[in-house]
Amino acid sequence: MEYTRSCWIQNCRGGRRGVCTAVIILGILISSALLAYTAFGPKSDNRSIRQIAIIFRHGDRTPTETYPNDPYLDYSWEDGWGALTKVGMLQLYQLGEWIRLEYDSVIGKKYETSSAKIMSSYADRCIMSAQALLAALYRPEPGDNFMNDLPWRPVPVHSIPRDTDKLITVKHRCPTLDFELKEAYVNESIKNGEQMASYFNELAYHTGKKISTITDVEFLYNTLEIEANHGLELPEWTKKFYNKEMREIASRSLSLFTSNTFQQRLRGGPLLKEITNNMMLSRNGHDKIKLYLYSAHDITLVNVLRAMGFTNELFKPDYGAALIFELVLAEDFEENDLEVHVKVKYLNNTEMYEATPLKIPQCKEPCKLLDLLRVWKDVLPSDWDSECLN
């Protein structure tokens, strides 16, 4: 080591400083490249992953509704109400890039019907979000383009009509769920009615709209948030209301739809059941699909998280938030071993580089798939239709 160091010193002092400087700069560039590759390059520790399922929220959108006193009643929103914006398209494109970076070695370069399946809510913003994500995830290799100046190839996105959806939005008619939701509103009113009464009345005065539930507050919050994010100056009265407290009320509203085990079972349970069924098929060698994608809404993520047992937290998922399930072979697996466990991660938005690992409540780590089925037995529906009628 000393000999090497002295040689460097002699060379740099011996009139070869230009060469020496060039070598040092080259060394710094190589080190920087290696560091960047380590931080942002393809992950190499995913070889044990057998299957991935990702539920993600759509990207930035325009408001779905407004209020009578809104100064922007006649504002011309891009593509109308409830539409995916260009910002939202970019957010989901970035999520597609993140998935490619994170799971490149698992999912393969090209889309194949035998290796990936993409489902979406009926909403245009969800279907378009899935398409934007897929444009980044499955960029065609040189020579695979069907048009030379278009670096894109179509990938099928399967959507479920609103009124028949029992999986993502769960809008299929279910009298028992309707009853349970009404009960949840009654309980919320009993618990917080007096405290919220003046809050509701003051908001109704400012907005010119009847505000009587925390869901009314949630919809108002969403509208104000979108207007603020799009650079529109909010009315003076919003300085008192558009704040952390209002966001927490909006989060409470989202939790009402899964306020008991029955609601968790029929709202978040169907998607959990599909994911675990696919994992069991993969475990037993009957499902070769590596990647399942579900383009959904904030309420979908909340329903699933609460069905999983995260009932002590309040969630208000950002645009592009993603809940990730990994089916992983045990570290000490043998060639024919079927011992698999499940890892869950949460990516809060498309600006993050690292997903946060979640510990599944009541499941000892590493959480084995068979153990998880026992933990979730009360929230995995056996017959959704018959349970809705009873």
The string of pLDDT tens digits covering residues 168-178 is: 999 999 999 99
Q: Residue 357, SS3?
A: strand
Q: Which residues in the chain land under pLDDT 50? A: 1-42, 44, 335-336
Pairing of strands 322-329, 340-347: antiparallel
298 catalytically annotated: yes
Q: So what's the pLDDT on residue 338?
A: 65
CA 193 to chain centre: 32
- Cα separation, 294 vs 279, whole angstroms: 15
Say how far apart CA 37 and CA 268 lie, in whole Å: 38
* Rg of the chain on CA atoms, in Å: 25
State the Cα–Cα distance between residues 145 and 100, nearest whole angstrom: 19
Inter-residue contact 49 to 326 (CB < 8 Å): yes
What distance lies between CA 246 and its chain's CA centroid? 22
pLDDT value of residue 226: 98
Q: Which of 60, 70, 287, 298 is labelled catalytic?
A: 298
Rounded Cα–Cα distance for residues 252 and 217 (Å)? 10
CA 310/CA 305 separation, integer angstroms = 6
pLDDT, tens digit, 9 for 90 and up, residues 215-232: 999 999 999 999 999 999
On whether the pTM is more than 0.95, the answer is: no
Query: Which ranges of 41-150 would DSSP assign to H, the alpha helix?
Result: 86-107, 124-137
Contact 341, 277 (CB under 8 A): no
Distance from C-alpha of 203 to C-alpha of 237, rounded to nearest angstrom: 9
Buried residues in 358-376 as b, exposed as e (16+ CB within 10 A): bebeebeeebbbebbbebb
Q: Tell me, what's the pLDDT at 332?
A: 55
Neighbouring C-alpha atoms within 13 Å toward the C-beta of 307: 27
296 CB-contact burial (10 Å; exposed 0-12 / middle 13-18 / buried 19+): buried
Tell me, what's the pLDDT at 186?
A: 96
Question: Is 58 a residue of the active site?
Answer: yes
**Of 109, 93, 129, 89, nearest in space to 42 by CA:** 109
Q: What is the pLDDT of residue 330?
A: 79
Whether the bond into 366 is cis, omega within 30 of 0: yes
Among 58, 172, 206, 341, the active-site one is: 58
Per the CB < 8 A criterion, the answer to whether 148 and 154 are in contact is no
Amino acid 331: pLDDT: 65
Amino acid 143: pLDDT = 82
